[in-house]
C-alpha cells in the first residue's frame, strides 16, 4: 500500500523531507508547503500552528503518517492531538517538546540527569539578571526562555552587550512572552556541532553529525540567522567522540525523558559545543531541539541511503527495531541563497533564474525555502530563499558542486556565504 505522508511546515527542511519521501514512492502532502514542495506533492493552505486545521487535513487526505517539521506546533501539542485521533505522527509529545520550548526547563533537566552543559542561572526578574551580569565581570550568554525563531540567544562579548540583551528580551519584550524568563549561561568556546538521533521512546538511531553556519557573513561575522549553510560530517567529531556523545549525552537524555514520564519519540537534535583539542576534546550541550535542524536536514536527507519512510514511521509507531543508519554519500554540503536584507527586513517577489541549470550539476539538489509561483516562474517569498545542496565523495567535491550550482542561480539582491565548511576545508 502506498504510504500517504503529510508534512507540516513550509521551509527547505520540509522540502528535503518531501523530496526524500517522494523518491521512496510515497504520496506527499504538505501544509502550508512551498512552491518547491508543490513539484513533488500536494500543498494545502493550512498554517503549521493551526492544530485543528492540521488534524482535519490529515483526516481529509487519509494520511498514514504525519511528520511535523517546525518546533512551534510540537510545543503546542500537535503530535498529541494527532495521536488522540489515531493518526501516526512523527515528533515528540507536548511534554517532551518542553526540552526545546523552555530553555530553563531544559537546563534544569540537564542538571537533574548529569548531562554536561555550561553553568547557568535562571531569572524571572530583569533587575536581578542585570545585577548578576554586572557582578560577574566576564562574558556571558543571555537566552530568552521561550521559542524565539533563533533570535533568542546573545553570546555577549562584555557586560554592556549582555545588559542590552536583557533590556531587549525582558524589558522591551522584543520577543514577546518568550523573553519574560531569562537563562544566563557561562560562555563555552569551541566548535559547534549538530547531532541528531531519531528515537521511538526506547531505542534510537544515530544519524551523522553536521555543522551549521549561523552568522550572516563570511568569517562567522554579522547577525545570527536561521542558518546560512551546513555540511556533514564535520571532522571535529571523531568516532571516539561520537561514542562519548551517545553514552554521556544522548542516552542519559532519553533515559531521563522516560524516567520523568515523557518517553521521547521523534528527532532529538542536540546542539553541542566541542571544546579542547585532539584526544582531549569533549562535548557539552548548548541546547536541545526536538525536531530536525534546518539546513542540517538538507545535508542528512541527501546523504541518507536507507528507507527514510521506515525511519520516520518506526519512530512514530514506537518501533525502530531493525532500522539502521545507512549512507549513500560520504559527504554533503549546502549553501543558503538569501534575500537582500536578511535576517532583517527583505523584499519579496523578485524573479529567480537558473534553477534548471543549477540542477544539472552532478550531485546537486536545490531545495526551496521562501519561494512562490508567479505564472511560469519562481519568485522570492522569504528571507532564506533556496538551499543548494550537493553530495560528493569528499567534502571538497560536495563544496565545489554546491558553489558551482549556486553560481548558476540569480535573483536581485541574492547573497550567500562563500565559506561554508571553512573549518573542515581550510
Per the structure, the count of domains in the chain is 4
Domain boundary among 293, 316, 339: 316
Please give the distance of CA 154 from its chain centroid, rounded to a whole number.
Answer: 18
Same domain? 236 vs 149: no
Helix, strand or coil, per DSSP, at residue 264: coil
Find the mean pLDDT for residues 329-342. 97
Residue 342 is placed in which grid cell? 536578511
Same domain? 243 vs 312: yes
Is 101 a domain residue? no
Q: Identify the band that residue 223 occupies on the pLDDT scale cut at 50, 70 and 90.
A: confident
Same domain? 140 vs 197: no
Distance separating alpha carbons of residues 213 and 192, to the nearest angstrom: 9
Same domain? 197 vs 290: yes
Same domain? 176 vs 233: no
Is 100 a domain residue? no
Same domain? 198 vs 271: yes
Domain boundary among 73, 91, 109: 91
Tell me phi and psi for residue 286, to 5 degrees. -85, -45
Integer distance in angstroms from the first to the last C-alpha of the chain?
48
Confidence at residue 279, expressed as pLDDT on a 0 to 100 scale: 82
Same domain? 123 vs 218: no
pLDDT above 90: percentage of residues in the chain: 95
Same domain? 307 vs 340: no
Same domain? 287 vs 219: yes
Per-residue pLDDT tens for 229-280?
Answer: 999 999 999 999 999 999 999 999 999 999 999 999 999 999 999 999 888 8
Tell me phi and psi for residue 85, to 5 degrees. -100, 10
Task: Yes or no: say if 152 and 169 are a contact pair by the CB < 8 Å rule.
Answer: yes
Find the mean pLDDT for residues 398-403. 98
Structure pTM? 0.96
Tell me phi and psi for residue 20, to 5 degrees. -65, -50
Is 200 a domain residue? yes
Find the mean pLDDT for residues 112-127. 97
Confidence at residue 268, expressed as pLDDT on a 0 to 100 scale: 98
DSSP state string for 129-171: HHHHHHHH-S-EEEEESS--TT-SEEE-SSHHHHHHHHIIIII
Is 103 a domain residue? no
Is 229 a domain residue? yes
CATH number at residue 260: 3.30.470.20
381: exposed, middle or buried (Cβ count in 10 Å: 0-12, 13-18, 19+): buried
Instruction: Look at residue 400 and tell me whether its pLDDT is greater than 80.
Output: yes
Distance separating alpha carbons of residues 115 and 166, to the nearest angstrom: 27
Task: Yes or no: say if 285 and 115 are a contact pair by the CB < 8 Å rule.
Answer: yes
Instruction: Look at residue 351 and tell me whether its pLDDT is greater than 80.
Output: yes
Is 215 a domain residue? yes
Confidence at residue 267, expressed as pLDDT on a 0 to 100 scale: 98
Confidence at residue 150, expressed as pLDDT on a 0 to 100 scale: 77
293 is in which domain, residue-wise? 191-316
Q: Is 184 left (phi over 0), alpha (psi -120 to 50) or beta?
A: beta
Please state whether beta strands 265-275 and 364-368 pair in parallel, antiparallel, or not at all (unpaired).
unpaired
CATH number at residue 353: 3.90.600.10
Confidence at residue 2, expressed as pLDDT on a 0 to 100 scale: 74
Residue 295 is placed in which grid cell? 539546513
Please give the distance of CA 111 from its chain centroid, rounded to a whole number.
Answer: 24
Residues paired with residue 97 on neighbouring β-strands, in sequence order: none
Is 37 a domain residue? yes
Helix, strand or coil, per DSSP, at residue 249: helix
pLDDT, mean over the chain: 96
DSSP state string for 183-204: EEEEPP-SEEEEEEEEEESS-E
Residue 156 is placed in which grid cell? 555577549
Q: Which uninterrupted H or E stretch holds 388?
A: strand 384-392
Same domain? 21 vs 66: yes
Q: Identify the band that residue 122 occupies on the pLDDT scale cut at 50, 70 and 90.
A: very high
Confidence at residue 1, expressed as pLDDT on a 0 to 100 scale: 65
Confidence at residue 151, expressed as pLDDT on a 0 to 100 scale: 82
Confidence at residue 369, expressed as pLDDT on a 0 to 100 scale: 98
Same domain? 21 vs 128: no
pLDDT above 70: percentage of residues in the chain: 100
Is 113 a domain residue? no
CATH number at residue 139: 3.30.1490.20
Same domain? 242 vs 349: no
Confidence at residue 78, expressed as pLDDT on a 0 to 100 scale: 98
Domain boundary among 286, 316, 346: 316
Task: Yes or no: say if 333 and 231 are a contact pair by the CB < 8 Å rule.
Answer: yes
Amino acid at each position: 500500500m502506498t504510504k500517504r505522508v503529510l508534512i507540516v511546515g513550509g521551509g527547505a527542511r520540509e522540502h528535503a523531507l518531501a523530496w526524500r519521501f517522494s523518491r521512496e514512492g510515497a504520496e506527499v502532502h504538505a501544509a502550508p508547503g512551498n512552491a518547491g514542495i508543490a513539484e513533488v506533492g500536494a500543498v494545502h493552505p493550512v498554517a503549521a500552528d493551526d492544530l485543528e486545521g492540521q488534524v482535519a487535513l490529515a483526516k481529509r487526505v487519509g494520511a498514514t503518517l504525519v511528520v511535523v517539521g517546525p518546533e512551534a506546533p510540537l510545543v503546542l501539542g500537535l503530535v498529541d492531538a494527532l495521536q488522540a485521533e489515531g493518526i501516526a505522527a512523527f515528533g515528540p509529545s507536548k511534554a517532551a517538546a518542553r526540552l526545546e520550548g523552555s530553555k530553563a526547563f531544559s537546563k534544569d533537566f540537564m542538571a537533574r540527569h548529569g548531562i554536561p552543559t555550561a553553568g547557568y542561572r535562571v531569572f524571572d526578574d530583569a533587575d536581578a539578571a542585570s545585577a548578576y551580569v554586572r557582578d560577574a565581570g566576564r562574558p556571558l550568554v543571555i537566552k530568552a526562555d521561550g521559542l524565539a525563531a533563533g533570535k533568542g540567544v546573545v553570546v555577549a562579548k562584555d557586560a554592556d552587550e549582555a545588559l542590552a540583551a536583557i533590556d531587549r528580551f525582558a524589558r522591551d519584550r522584543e520577543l514577546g512572552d518568550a523573553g519574560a524568563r531569562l537563562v544566563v549561561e557561562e560562555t563555552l568556546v569551541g566548535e559547534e556541532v549538530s547531532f541528531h538521533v531519531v528515537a521511538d521512546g526506547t531505542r534510537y538511531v544515530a544519524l551523522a553529525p553536521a555543522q551549521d553556519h549561523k552568522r550572516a557573513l563570511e568569517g562567522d561575522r554579522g547577525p545570527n540567522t536561521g542558518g546560512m549553510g551546513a555540511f556533514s560530517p564535520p571532522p571535529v567529531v571523531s568516532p571516539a567522540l561520537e561514542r562519548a556523545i551517545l553514552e554521556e549525552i544522548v542516552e542519559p537524555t532519553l533515559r531521563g525523558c522516560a524516567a520523568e514520564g515523557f518517553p521521547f519519540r521523534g528527532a532529538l537534535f542536540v546542539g553541542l559545543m566541542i571544546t579542547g583539542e585532539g584526544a582531549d576534546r569533549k562535548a557539552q550541550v548548548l541546547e536541545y531541539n526536538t525536531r530536525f535542524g534546518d539546513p542540517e536536514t538538507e545535508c542528512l536527507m541527501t546523504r541518507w541511503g536507507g528507507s527514510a519512510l521506515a525511519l520516520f514511521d518506526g519512530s512514530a509507531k514506537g518501533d525502530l527495531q531493525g532500522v539502521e543508519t545507512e549512507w549513500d554519500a560520504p559527504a554533503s554540503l549546502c549553501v543558503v541563497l538569501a534575500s537582500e536584507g536578511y535576517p532583517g527586513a527583505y523584499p519579496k517577489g523578485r524573479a529567480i533564474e537558473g534553477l534548471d541549470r543549477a540542477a544539472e550539476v552532478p550531485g546537486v539538489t536545490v531545495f526551496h525555502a521562501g519561494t512562490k509561483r508567479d505564472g511560469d516562474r519562481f519568485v522570492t517569498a522569504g528571507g532564506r530563499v533556496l538551499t543548494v545542496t550537493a553530495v560528493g565523495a569528499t567534502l571538497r567535491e560536495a563544496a565545489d558542486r554546491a558553489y558551482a550550482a549556486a553560481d548558476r542561480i540569480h535573483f536581485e539582491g541574492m547573497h550567500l556565504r562563500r565559506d561554508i565548511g571553512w573549518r573542515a576545508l581550510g
